[in-house]
Structure 1
Amino acid sequence: MALDSPTELFRYELSGALDAEKKATAWRDEIAGQLRDSGLQQIARTEQQEGHRRIENLEACFAALGARAGEVSGLTVDGARAEFKQFMSQQPAPDTREIYAVGSLLKMSHVGVAAYRGLVDKALAMGQARCAQLLRRNLVMKADSIGRLERISYELSERVMATA
């Protein structure tokens, strides 16, 4: 993909966001499998379902642009997943594993908010209102996710750390 213009930069970043969402959505299923608490499993599955909706929105954005996604790898997700696997290889206690898993989901949501803010701004600057609307939906989902995960992280940490 040539990066000779701001439009190509936008498509490049949009392609990276699509790849990242696909990888993160698959990873959330892996995270859910590491959790013993059914409530936390459900939260991970909710995050996964929202990931599917964000993927649909990104694909609709490409359609609105009359473009196709390029081959851009979401390396941030690859790194976070590798870090998660490394942590899990240490055979942590279940409570510790759950705190770490929720924290991993939270970190990825923060990264997503940063990415979507930039994409929304670029779409608006380019006059791509439909794409900006779809990206804003993804931004709102990520922001809502942060609120949900921060509350759960706090409650989980408070419960687990009180017994440590």
Structure 2
Amino acid sequence: MAINTTRDLFIYELGILGEMEISGRRVLDFLAHRVSDDLGQIVRRKQQECIQWNHNINSCAKAFGTSPLSTRSDTVEGMYGRFESFVRTNPSVDLVDQFAVDTLIRFLYLTIAAHKTLFDWAIIMGEAQCVQYLHANLVQKQESAAEIERYGHELGVRLLTPVARPA
């Protein structure tokens, strides 16, 4: 498909966003199998959310009378590779959990940024139905990021408290 208009670019970027969610599920699956049980449950919930977010992205594309183009998300694939490399260093379970939380936060913020851009474009283009789907995803992703950040902070406190020394 030739990209000649902003509408074409929107659809192209919507495809990238959809692929981010698909690739993200793969990353989260990899994380879920390597982290503690408590964190694994949280990660699996985020995987399910990715399915819903991708459904909303597809619904947004349908509102435009198209389907998202399948385009690879090299950035999310890079997150997968970075986590895989980290695991090969044989870190403790606690450190795997912390790195997994950090990876999940990065993934969420990457997709939040992509959603913000497309949400703004959908508003400008006057596609109200698409705006609703992207807004729902954006709000849910921001809530997810806040939840994971709180979990990461609590985990960090548990991990760092034993090594903190009085000044």
Tell me what 1:88 maps to: 87
Structure 2 counterpart of 1:29, which letter?
D
Q: Distance in 2 between matches of 1:95 and 1:68?
A: 41
Tell me what 2:63 maps to: 64
| 3-state SS of paired residue (1:34) | coil
Tell me what 1:152 maps to: 151
Structure 2 counterpart of 1:5, which letter?
T
Tell me what 2:119 maps to: 120
Structure 2 counterpart of 1:84, which letter?
F
Question: CA shift at 1:50, angstroms?
Answer: 0.6
Tell me what 1:100 maps to: 99
Question: CA shift at 1:163, angstroms?
Answer: 2.3
What is the TM-score when the length of structure 1 is the normalising length?
0.96
Q: Distance in 2 between matches of 1:54 and 1:109?
A: 12
Q: Distance in 2 between matches of 1:41 and 1:78?
A: 20
| 3-state SS of paired residue (1:39) | helix
Q: Which has the larger radius of gyration?
A: 2
Q: Percent identity of the aligned residues? A: 32
Q: Distance in 1 between matches of 2:84 and 2:107?
A: 15
Q: Distance in 2 between matches of 1:93 and 1:31?
A: 14
| 3-state SS of paired residue (1:139) | helix
The runs of 5 or more residues in structure 1 that have no matched partner are: none
The runs of 5 or more residues in structure 2 that have no matched partner are: none
Q: Distance in 2 between matches of 1:69 and 1:133?
A: 17
What is the TM-score when the length of structure 2 is the normalising length?
0.94
Tell me what 1:28 maps to: 28
Q: Distance in 2 between matches of 1:73 and 1:123?
A: 22
Tell me what 2:8 maps to: 8
Q: Distance in 1 between matches of 2:74 and 2:139?
A: 23
Structure 2 counterpart of 1:92, which letter?
P
| 3-state SS of paired residue (2:33) | helix
Give the total of aligned pairs: 163
